[in-house]
Structure 1
Amino acid sequence: MMEGEEQGILKTIASDPIWRNVHQAILVESDKTIPLPPIERVLEGRRLLGKSREALQRIFNLSYAYRLTNDEKYAHRAEKEMLAIAEFKDWNPSHYLDVGEMTMAMAIGYDWTYAKLSAPSREKISRAIVEKGLKTSQDKRYNSWLQRSNNWNQVCNAGITFGALAVYEDHPDLAKQLIKRAVNSIKLPMEDYAPNGAYPEGYGYWNYGTTFNVLFLTALEKAFGTDYGLSNRPGFMETAGYYENMIGTSRYPFNYSDAGGGHGKLSPAVFYFAKKSNDPSLLWVEKAYLQKGDLSRSADNRVFPLLMLLGAGVEFDKITPPSKKVWVGQGKSPVTLMRSSWTRPDAIFVGFKAGSPSAPHAHMDIGSFVMDADGVRWAIDLGSQNYHSLEKLGMDIWGKEQDAQRWTIKRYNNFIHNTLTVNGQLQRVDGYAKIDDSGESDALKHGISDITDLYKGQLAAARRGIAIVDDAFVVVRDEMKATANSATVRWVMLAPEGVEIQDDNVAILNKDGKRLTLRVDHPAQVKLQKWSTAPTTDYDTTNEGTVLVGFEYTVPAGASETLQVSLLPQNVVVDSKTFDKPLSDWGQK
């Protein structure tokens, strides 16, 4: 925050009750922090990350509160926190995310409260930033993230750059070296937004990696007047559309890969993209979050004050819904995201995923989907399991080989995802599928993917298409061919536990007083059944409130077969709604 920038923020706060509410939420969080003791260096397993994140939340809030109110109590409390952190023996460089976030916390506090820090405090905090932050990033034992293309690169480069900028005047040579290094290194993860913005690590990690990427770019712009062309890299400016379209009409995100299972969250970073691209419609989902009034869930975001810096001046009455209802992204984890409406609470949403289990944080979920209607998430993805809950048992959860221990974990393999399992086997980790066709019309919003590569040696061919038909119901269609051997295919959907099998080919799903009909259209002779999602090992987590519903069908050797399931919301007359077109005809007008 540059000197004098407070005035523009104060003007925004005075002009709009929504922004006033955001500002007040930051002050409330800051006041809660004042009586608390400073954080201590306590690891959870191999991570100090929880403490680093708590430090960033506390210090960012307190620093903002001081700058916007001039109340010295906030600066003094931030100083107390920073002095305690400076005394830590280290910031746990063996898990370098911990250092990245801690360095950013200390840099913001040092820079924003500098005028109120005593000379000894300045020296102690500055030295800690240099010794425990910047210099550890030069140690080859700890800096492999410089060559990675995942969120570690974004977070660590952002944190170290903030630290370098904070101490630039006293350590210009070191600071310049590290900032130049970061500008080159961060190009690696930014390449993964190509070609059009889909983030390979999914919804939760988008908010993590992209937010820190935005912090990095805005820091460069503030300090040097340029981001060195980084924001113009292919796909980066389009990625806010990905994040916006990932939120379903149930307010749950499409939480594939290692994403959590909760509701979607407000992202301050989206305001950067909306302003830079002059597209207020990118803020349609963020507007809904902020208009709710209760910001308690959002205010625990450790970079929540970034919302005021990036959002100052935004007028909410000028934010309109997006014009497109289908969004398609290719890349390492391609997706088709579609909905029948942006404004109707009973609208349908479908998220459909292609890609590869070998992508960063990926699961064996190629061909999987989620589906909302009437405000309910009917087709569910459980998301990830807490890493520490597995690592503390000695589990190796990061291997990506075909026989890796990762794939024995229920939430990570294909058996419990809304996709196909053939002969009880895992999907192929070296397989890959893209979105081969998609389209948007009132009659058909769809995505199609050839997923054969994921079933190498199991099926001779497999294509899956998912569509919203007439903005009224959803069709999931699989066209496949067996190899020289027969193939027993299991089709499953993870659903809320209130499932009643009504007929061999019809099941009724019940949730929150709402209803959805699952109807098998092809083949004619199947028998729907349910399977438990309860853990069968001592390491799998519980999956309360869910059940698998589906069927098995054996495709004779060398034969071709079509499986098709319709998902019909409660306001649809089931018997009158049918759709039966081969995937090759879906793209035709």
Structure 2
Amino acid sequence: MKLTMLFLLLGMQTFAQTDTLPVGASVPGHPRILMLKGEENQLRKMIASDPVWQKMHQSIVAEADKMIGLPNLERKLEGRRLLGVSRECIRRLFYLSYAYRITGDGKYSQRAKSEMLAVAAFQDWNPSHFLDVAEMTLGMAIGYDWLYDHLSQNDRKTISGAILEKGVNTSLQSKNNNWLRVTNNWNQVCNTGMAYGALAIYEQQPELARGIINRGIKSIQLPMADYQPEGAYPEGYGYWGYGTSFNVLFISALEKIFQKDFGLTEKPGFLQTAGYLENMTGPTGAPFNYSDAGNGGGLNAAMFWFAGKQKDPSLLWVEKSWMESGKSHTRDRLLPAIMLWNNNIRLSSIKPPQALLWTGGGKNPVALMRTSWTDKNAIFAGMKGGSPSVNHAHMDVGSFVMESGGVRWAMDFGMQDYNSLESKGISIWGLAQNSQRWQVYRYNNYAHNTLTVNGNFQNVKGDARITAFNRDENFLQATTDISKLYAGDLEKAVRGIAIVNKQYVVVRDEIEAPQKETVVRWTLLTPADVKITGGNTAELSKNGKTLTLKVDAPLPVQMKTWSTESKNDYDASNKGTILTGFEMTVPAGFKGAMNVYLLPEKNTKTAPVKALSEWPASK
């Protein structure tokens, strides 16, 4: 025990730690994580009073019923990861434990106990990939804590012993805890998993548990700093759902047990990040899936926590649409948390947001704009700045997505399954200019809605800020200076995107070439059928809708399409997509601008495009 505490204290010195949770701090009895003993009654009343929440409750219980007959989990790695098993561990134990606490039916606790004993018997929880340990520990902590009164003394000893030895204690070894010092989702997930383990076994190891919790309170502030200034999450939509949801789990557990959040919700930008996520979803329901994000959206339980904190139900407009969609949400391992965080908000009270444009700075700045929150056919555009050097980033600086008429015309591939690349020997985590990561088709600028100059990759050390924006609904716009991404190929490159008069989108690129002939390629990735219709036009068609791409440039352009199928066997298939756009050769020292109009449904009326410096901008 003394050696264990020494390792912990040495690790905490990294943060100039002074205990945030005082010596002798007490915790309530079990259950205490997220929902205290006796709080089931209040939740039952809420469920009985609202058919929406009754339906959500029933879907969770029905899923728990399906789990009854499943075989116990086994320790089977996929590549170097046990993460799939760990995530299913959370899903099963969270659903089964919830079903037991609300219904009182012992079949759920009995099934959960069997699962916990099986997981406790694993040789380890794969500490070499510590996310696996963190998620397994969190699932086991919820199950152990919520079902504590149903477990025998031997069961408690076995399960709590596994939480301690295969979970919490492994985080004390330096080879396993580099996540304490990083600013990405690993920090949020791992600190949360370890804190849950510590809270579950607090009375057995109070000094150790208090140290783990205090270590987490200090360490988790590192990634939380990345939400400032306005809440844009650097790793994008998909990892927001991961890192931020676990961050909320961390804070919510502390609040429930200690009645305070230790100042974490006061961190600049953190509560505002709900606005980021809400605005990231277009009218089609698809997210702006830049970086390593999947191409699908979904319900996020943490948004209800944020709406409660902000006292702003309009933050749940997109979540409301997901709940009304009729789709199942039971693959979400954290779904039961929505019953704890919903603040008894009735869907009928959720009104659409007022603002049509949202911008956020930080490591990966974004601008998100739309013509309406209530019209499924509304025009939507999202653009990003940032840098390829950001964690999980792609060479997609200046890229955008665009929707109109219920079709996503300009899309992003998002991520490729990591194991599909790693299993073929591809190293995908290097961020240097010559890293193998950039040879993956989906990761480099060839496959994104941005510029490629002289056939070169974007500069990984480059960075782009959102330099101006405008909230006027008749000229929603955002501008970013992407010059540093093309150092050596262009002297200047500034991109602006605007929705004009609620009718169409214009993308303006102002460039300056060096003292050499330069080839500029402008691309748009689309799932639509594409037909080149003229020297400066192309027609996109999908689902009975059309979009005209029209180029206005000072020099001749060559309209093109490019296949999205890679010749590399490690690249994912990109069937059903195509790149379109143009190439333009500019002479040495060229200074000029290219305007690309994206015109829905054969709209041919366009207004003259002014220089970006003359675009109206909000203060």
Aligned match for 2:255, one of 214, 221, 226? 221
> Is the 1:438–1:447 Cα contact (8 Å) retained in structure 2?
yes
* Match of residue 545 from structure 1: 576
* Match of residue 275 from structure 1: 308
What is the CA–CA distance in structure 2 between the aligned matches of 1:541 and 1:267, rounded to whole Å? 27
Q: Secondary structure at the match of 1:153?
A: helix
Q: Is 2:196 aligned against 1:166?
A: no
> Is the 2:450–2:522 Cα contact (8 Å) retained in structure 1?
yes
Aligned match for 2:475, one of 431, 440, 444? 444
What is the CA–CA distance in structure 1 between the aligned matches of 2:555 and 2:275, rounded to whole Å? 40
* Match of residue 114 from structure 2: 80
> Is the 1:59–1:78 Cα contact (8 Å) retained in structure 2?
yes
Per-residue deviation, 1:6: 1.2
* Match of residue 3 from structure 2: none
What is the CA–CA distance in structure 1 between the aligned matches of 2:609 and 2:256, rounded to whole Å? 56
Aligned match for 1:579, one of 608, 611, 615? 608
Residue-by-residue CA offset, 1:469-501 (whole Å, 9 max, x unaligned): 001100000000001112110001001241111
* Match of residue 395 from structure 1: 426
* Match of residue 231 from structure 1: 265
* Match of residue 326 from structure 2: 293
What is the CA–CA distance in structure 2 between the aligned matches of 1:381 and 1:293, rounded to whole Å? 26
What is the CA–CA distance in structure 2 between the aligned matches of 1:523 and 1:351, rounded to whole Å? 26
Residue-by-residue CA offset, 1:25-54 (whole Å, 9 max, x unaligned): 101110010001110000000000000000
Q: Is 2:89 aligned against 1:55?
A: yes
> Is the 1:256–1:383 Cα contact (8 Å) retained in structure 2?
yes
> Is the 1:21–1:293 Cα contact (8 Å) retained in structure 2?
no
Residue-by-residue CA offset, 1:491-530 (whole Å, 9 max, x unaligned): 0100124111111111111111111111112236323111
What is the CA–CA distance in structure 2 between the aligned matches of 1:287 and 1:346, rounded to whole Å? 18
Unaligned 5+ residue runs, structure 2?
A: 1-34
* Match of residue 377 from structure 2: 346
> Is the 1:101–1:155 Cα contact (8 Å) retained in structure 2?
yes
What is the CA–CA distance in structure 2 between the aligned matches of 1:554 and 1:545, rounded to whole Å? 29
* Match of residue 221 from structure 2: 187
* Match of residue 139 from structure 1: 173
> Is the 1:18–1:291 Cα contact (8 Å) retained in structure 2?
no
> Is the 1:333–1:354 Cα contact (8 Å) retained in structure 2?
yes
> Is the 1:12–1:312 Cα contact (8 Å) retained in structure 2?
no
* Match of residue 529 from structure 1: 560
> Is the 1:8–1:312 Cα contact (8 Å) retained in structure 2?
no
Letter in 1 for 2:280: M
What is the CA–CA distance in structure 2 between the aligned matches of 1:381 and 1:546, rounded to whole Å? 10
Letter in 2 for 1:339: R
Q: Is 2:383 aligned against 1:367?
A: no
Residue-by-residue CA offset, 1:163-220 (whole Å, 9 max, x unaligned): 1000001110110010010000001000000111000000000000000000000001
What is the CA–CA distance in structure 2 between the aligned matches of 1:163 and 1:523, rounded to whole Å? 63
Residue-by-residue CA offset, 1:369-393 (whole Å, 9 max, x unaligned): 0001111110010001110000011
* Match of residue 417 from structure 2: 386
In the TM superposition, what are the counterparts of 1:91-130 in structure 2 within 5 Å? 91-130=125-164
> Is the 1:534–1:542 Cα contact (8 Å) retained in structure 2?
yes
Per-residue deviation, 1:3: 1.3
Aligned match for 2:524, one of 485, 488, 493? 493
> Is the 1:491–1:552 Cα contact (8 Å) retained in structure 2?
yes
* Match of residue 563 from structure 1: 594
What is the CA–CA distance in structure 1 between the aligned matches of 2:275 and 2:521, rounded to whole Å? 34
Unaligned 5+ residue runs, structure 1?
A: none
Per-residue deviation, 1:8: 2.0
CA-atom RMSD in angstroms: 1.0
What is the CA–CA distance in structure 2 between the aligned matches of 1:442 and 1:106, rounded to whole Å? 50
Per-residue deviation, 1:561: 1.7
Aligned match for 1:502, one of 527, 533, 548? 533
Percent identical residues: 55
* Match of residue 4 from structure 1: 38
Q: Is 2:290 aligned against 1:256?
A: yes
What is the CA–CA distance in structure 2 between the aligned matches of 1:288 and 1:538, rounded to whole Å? 39
What is the CA–CA distance in structure 1 between the aligned matches of 2:508 and 2:608, rounded to whole Å? 10
Per-residue deviation, 1:292: 2.2
* Match of residue 63 from structure 2: 29
Letter in 2 for 1:573: N
What is the CA–CA distance in structure 2 between the aligned matches of 1:386 and 1:188, rounded to whole Å? 27
What is the CA–CA distance in structure 1 between the aligned matches of 2:418 and 2:122, rounded to whole Å? 25
Residue-by-residue CA offset, 1:440-488 (whole Å, 9 max, x unaligned): 1122000000110101111011100000000110000000000111211
Q: Secondary structure at the match of 1:141?
A: helix
Per-residue deviation, 1:330: 0.4
Q: Is 2:334 aligned against 1:334?
A: no
What is the CA–CA distance in structure 1 between the aligned matches of 2:134 and 2:401, rounded to whole Å? 34
Q: Secondary structure at the match of 2:466?
A: coil
What is the CA–CA distance in structure 2 between the aligned matches of 1:528 and 1:444, rounded to whole Å? 28
Aligned match for 1:71, one of 105, 114, 120? 105
Give the TM-score, by structure 1 length. Answer: 0.98
Per-residue deviation, 1:239: 0.2
Q: Secondary structure at the match of 1:411?
A: helix
* 1:268–1:219 CA distance, 2 compared to 1 (3 A): same
> Is the 1:505–1:519 Cα contact (8 Å) retained in structure 2?
yes
> Is the 1:523–1:564 Cα contact (8 Å) retained in structure 2?
no
Per-residue deviation, 1:160: 0.6
What is the CA–CA distance in structure 1 between the aligned matches of 2:449 and 2:439, rounded to whole Å? 17
Letter in 2 for 1:293: G
Per-residue deviation, 1:312: 4.1
Per-residue deviation, 1:581: 1.1
What is the CA–CA distance in structure 2 between the aligned matches of 1:328 and 1:442, rounded to whole Å? 15
Residue-by-residue CA offset, 1:231-258 (whole Å, 9 max, x unaligned): 1001101000000000011110000000
What is the CA–CA distance in structure 2 between the aligned matches of 1:523 and 1:344, rounded to whole Å? 36
* Match of residue 431 from structure 1: 462
> Is the 1:532–1:548 Cα contact (8 Å) retained in structure 2?
yes
Letter in 1 for 2:344: G
What is the CA–CA distance in structure 2 between the aligned matches of 1:169 and 1:401, rounded to whole Å? 47
Q: Secondary structure at the match of 1:125?
A: helix
Q: Is 2:242 aligned against 1:208?
A: yes
* 1:76–1:588 CA distance, 2 compared to 1 (3 A): closer
Per-residue deviation, 1:293: 3.1
- Segment drifting more, 309-318 vs 266-275: 309-318
What is the CA–CA distance in structure 1 between the aligned matches of 2:98 and 2:473, rounded to whole Å? 47
Per-residue deviation, 1:317: 1.4
